[in-house]
Chain A
Amino acid sequence: MNKPLRRVAVFCGLLVLALLLRVNYVQFVQADQLSNDPHNRRVAINQYAQPRGDIIVDGKAITGHTTTTGSDFKYKRTYTDGPMWAPVTGHASQAFGTSFLEGVEDKFLTGNDDRLFFNRTIDLLTGKQKQGGNVVTTLNAKAQEAAFRGLGDKKGAVAAIDPRTGAILALASTPSYDPSTFAGNSKNDEKSWVGLQKGSDTDDPMLNRALRQTYPPGSTFKLVTAAAALQSGAITDVDKDTESPDPYPLPGTTVNLVNEGSIPCRNASLRNALKYSCNTVFGKLGADMGLKTMVDESELFGFNEEQFVPVRADASNFDTKMSPDQVAQSSIGQFDTAATPLQMAMVAAAIANNGTLMKPYEVDKLVAPNLSTISQTSPSKLSQPLSPENAQKLQSMMETVVESGTGTNARIRDVVVGGKTGTAQNGVNNKGTPYAWFVSYAKTDQGSPVAVAVVVEDASANRDDVSGGGFAAPIAKRVMEAVLNK
């Protein structure tokens, strides 16, 4: 019976061999795919198995962590002043994923980024727990606080930039939310999350109004039109009278473009037109220069393109196909023109920086757990929408607006401030509450350290410059003062 016995032995050997081949296939060949499968819960568990790195403002962490029990996830994200910083940090939730900086820099914060490979290997050898890297932001805590407190319980947003570098100093959006309330994955976290969704909260607190919401920019857009006029040579002397009727009949239509209130706009100079915010002068300027000039100039300022700071900001809009009457309306910030607060801050920043627009960014550097710098953002030029001479002309016009025009609420003692107010009509037949805008910059001996754009959604007063100057300018002033340390 030994011959069949030997054959059975070979058969049993083959069975074991088949098993060995199979486990090698599963645990070696397929291992990577299986262990990174999005349905493999270990992926999420590992993400929260060690404390996340922190997001740092002015040398202090605005994030933290606690340990949780009763779930697979060990560490939970906490936030200091969550609602104030939410438009910057976004959220990192065990149950609901990540957004904004937490999302964009997720790999670095969790320590899984390849750039941290060396650190991880050292930690492995020394037996230390894996650590996430820190994200050092460009934000200015005082400016952010001024913006957030300034908006208060009003709906709106603030974006502030350092014009010299493009570093973002403040990004506030109200109403806001506290990302700590749904950082875990308990029933309460789920309740908070559901409660914050647009469907259950019509205020949409999770909308980042500074980066992800475009508003009609209203009169603040006249800065772009003025820049186009100066750059195209349509106007060389800002104090020379223009040929502007009041009211201005929109070309090709029977509709008249009028001004708000009784302001001296007939044949007003560019400086006075900006000071009083004349619709007629800028409408005619835009129509006369034509679509291409306006599109080119607005795109030099960053319109029609998403900005990555590195968090994505929505593209602001200036239509590229319009009839002359639509160009006229668009040139005063109406029709389809729409801008994010960040975009309007970029406009002010480019003017304040003598015509050079720097690329906005909010991450200064990425720092490994051992504090070595892994990557550093160096400021870079985005475009040159204005020549330095023209930029200085526009600056002097904006300074007139603050000194004696519609923006007097933004005056700061001993500081040169330039600004522009705006009120954008909203809704069908302008039934919605208008948006009050104010964009401005402050100047010192070393150039301009801050440019701000403020938008307040529920400004109740209807008149153009009263609204922008009354609601938005004081907020801009507080942000500038915070940056200037006044």
Chain B
Amino acid sequence: MSASNTTTITSIGAPNRRNTELALLVFAVLIPVFAYVNAGLAKHDQVPAGLLGYGVGLGLLAGVAHLLVRKYAPYADPLMLPIATLLNGLGLVLIWRLDQEPVLGKAMAPNQLMWSTLGLALFVMVLIFLKDHRILQRYTYISMMVALVLLVAPIFFPGVNGAKIWITLPGIGSLQPGEFAKIVITVFFAGYLMVKRDALALASRRFMGLYLPRGRDLGPILVIWAISLLILVFETDLGTSLLFFGLFVIMLYVATERTSWIVFGLLLSAGGAVLVSSFEPHVKERVHNWLHPLQLANGGVTETAQTMYAFGSGGIFGSGLGQGYSRLIGGIAPKSDYILATVGEELGLAGLMAVLLLYALLIERGIRTALAARDPFGKLLAIGLSGAFALQVFVVAGGVTGLIPLTGMTMPFLAQGGSSVIANWALVAILLRISDTARRPAPSPAPSPDAEATQVVRSQ
């Protein structure tokens, strides 16, 4: 028996699937390019002038990202980068298409392209500089501070359209720190829970059928979570507070493996939702619109009704890109919060389900990464990030389609918004890094000087 077969751990890992990723990326670039041509032909009867720039640009970005993944995270999951690229590319086409409606204000696609480029740059930087996700564990408490700062900051800036969730930087524009806080707070939760999970799970008292942990274990995390929720309610950013709450419950449940946390979380959220919706006029109105979507307000058709009309008019196959009237939704957010309505109207039920399934696939790959991760911190971080992503998709899509009351948040990658697209690229980068570590074959054992002398006998 030769030396190379003397270990039980094989150094030949799973195939790295980089070529699969490349093939998928080709589709992820081609589909938006065709969509762009389609929208241009429908809107102006000619191939859009920016096609070459867009196609080559998107192709280059995807290509560079792919090459760097090949070099810095060779065993990373092959699906995440293509899905994110496809969603981002489709988002750009949709925004460009809505830019062609003069009533919707100034063009936003060029800026979105710039932000997407920055997002991909951040994606690449994370892959290059974050050699191992476990480094993040060192920054557990710094993350806590950063998350708090990010959450508190918008209070000092003027609110926009009824929600104080922006930081306005002169010359650069406005940022939505909540999107970044989502990642940072996940890092904090993961780091903290990893250390305290045994204490939380075991050193608890049974009270009315629930295991309540000791205050000193649960205290800090509960305080941070409560503060962030309060801030968000104060800033009337309910979507994000819901997201943070769900994130917290999921991570606590995964860390402690105690079902009671789910019950606890559901009770708390139900109570909180009823409480908030009963005194906050902003929320009251949203709940009313949700229950009576087609009711006229002030003699006119509401945005909610317009969104429903857009979905209904799209039907099964949609009107075709560029041929819908989702501009009728008007208001402030047809390119961001309501972009799914354009998908529904122009790509139809078929297109909308395809987009939702892309998100589902991305979430599934994230959870699979969590399952495959070998360290508890990686598991918690991966499930936290995927869970946050899933909740955000659900809250936005559910809100726009009228499944739940509407809360202002952006559809990851698809919707217009610089902070969102950058933060989500970073999120995918961290997930890719964890998946690379998880799928990487263990290094070959160091050659042992007495390898020849010892015979390992396999008992099997």
**A residues at B contact (CB < 8 Å):** 1-9, 11-13, 15-16, 18-20, 22-24, 26-28, 30-35, 37, 39-42, 45, 72
Contact = CB atoms under 8 A, between A and B. Distances in A.
Interface residues of B, number: 48
A48 B305 CA distance: 22
B315 A2 contact: no
Given A16-B357, A18-B403, 8 more contacts: A8-B253, A18-B394, A19-B356, A27-B344, A31-B314, A35-B315, A37-B312, A39-B301
A41 B312 CA distance: 12
A26 B394 contact: no
Contact of B250 (A8, A19, A42, A72): A8
B183 interface: no
B237 to A, nearest CB: 20
A94 to B, nearest CB: 15
Nearest to B397: A19
10 contacts: A4-B257, A8-B250, A8-B253, A18-B394, A19-B356, A19-B398, A22-B401, A23-B397, A40-B312, A41-B325
A26 B257 CA distance: 37
B390 interface: yes
Nearest to A18: B403
Contacts of B254: 1, 4-5, 8
B416 to A, nearest CB: 21
Contacts of A42: 309, 313, 325, 328
Interface string B379-401: 11001001100110110011001
Contact of B348 (A9, A27, A30): A27
Interface residues of chain A: helix, strand, loop or mixed (majority)? helix
A37 B309 CA distance: 8
Given A1-B254, A26-B311, A28-B316, A39 B367 contact: no
B314 to A, nearest CB: 6
B184 interface: no
B313 A34 contact: yes
A30 B312 contact: yes
B308 interface: yes
Given A27-B312, A35-B312, A15 B390 contact: yes
B406 to A, nearest CB: 13
B37 to A, nearest CB: 18
Contacts of B348: 27
A265 to B, nearest CB: 64
B257 A1 contact: yes
Contacts of B386: 12
B23 interface: no
A6 B316 CA distance: 33
A386 to B, nearest CB: 56
B255 interface: yes
Given A1-B254, A23-B401, A28-B349, A16 B312 contact: no
B370 A41 contact: no
B118 interface: no
A11 B316 CA distance: 27
A4 B249 CA distance: 12
Contacts of A18: 394, 398, 403
A23 to B, nearest CB: 5
Nearest to B318: A27
Given A26-B312, A26-B402, A72 B376 contact: no
Contacts of A7: 253
Contact of B356 (A3, A23, A32, A40): A23
A35 B309 contact: yes
B294 interface: yes
Contacts of B393: 15-16, 19
A19 B316 contact: no
B371 A23 contact: no
A39 B353 contact: no
Interface of B: 250, 253-255, 257, 294, 296, 301, 305, 308-309, 311-316, 325, 328, 344, 348-349, 352-353, 356-357, 359-360, 363-364, 367, 370-371, 376, 379-380, 383, 386-387, 390-391, 393-394, 397-398, 401-403
Residue from B313, B325, B398 whose CB has the most chain A CB atoms within 10 Å: B313
Contacts of A26: 308, 311-312, 344, 401-402
Contact of B349 (A11, A24, A40): A24
A13 to B, nearest CB: 7
Given A4-B253, A23-B352, A40-B312, A16 B359 contact: yes
Nearest to A24: B349
Given A4-B257, A12-B363, A27 B403 contact: no
A5 B356 contact: no
Contacts of B352: 23, 27
B403 A19 contact: yes
Contacts of A27: 311-312, 314-316, 344, 348-349, 352
Contacts of B403: 18-19, 22
Contacts of A1: 254-255, 257, 376, 379-380
Ranked nearest first, the 6 interchain pairs of A and B with the lowest CB-CB distance are A34-B312, A27-B349, A40-B309, A35-B313, A22-B403, A16-B360
Contacts of B316: 27-28, 31
B344 A12 contact: no
A27 B301 CA distance: 19
B60 to A, nearest CB: 32
Given A27-B314, A40-B309, A5 B371 contact: yes
Nearest to A40: B309
Contact of B371 (A6, A22, A31, A45): A6
A441 B397 CA distance: 72
Contacts of A32: 312
A18 B305 CA distance: 21
Nearest to B319: A42
B312 A22 contact: no
A444 B401 CA distance: 71
Contacts of B311: 23, 26-27, 31, 34
B301 A31 contact: no
A19 B358 CA distance: 13
Contact of B370 (A5, A16, A19, A20): A5
Contacts of B359: 16
Given A23-B344, A23-B349, A23-B401, A5 B376 contact: no
B444 to A, nearest CB: 27
A39 B296 CA distance: 9
A19 B390 CA distance: 11
Contacts of A31: 311-316, 349
B328 A41 contact: yes
Given A34-B309, A35-B315, A12 B387 contact: yes
Contacts of B364: 9, 12-13
A242 to B, nearest CB: 66
A28 B315 CA distance: 6
A39 B379 CA distance: 50
A7 B360 CA distance: 15
A41 B308 CA distance: 12
A8 B257 contact: no
Nearest to A17: B360
A16 B356 contact: yes
B385 to A, nearest CB: 12
B402 A22 contact: yes
B383 A8 contact: yes
Nearest to B327: A72
Contacts of B402: 22, 26
Contacts of A19: 356, 393-394, 397-398, 401, 403
Q: Which of A5, A22, A33, A41 has the most B CB atoms < 10 Å from its CB?
A: A5
Given A12-B386, A45-B325, A22 B315 contact: no
Contacts of B294: 37, 39
A33 B367 contact: no
Given A1-B257, A5-B371, A18-B403, A12 B390 contact: yes
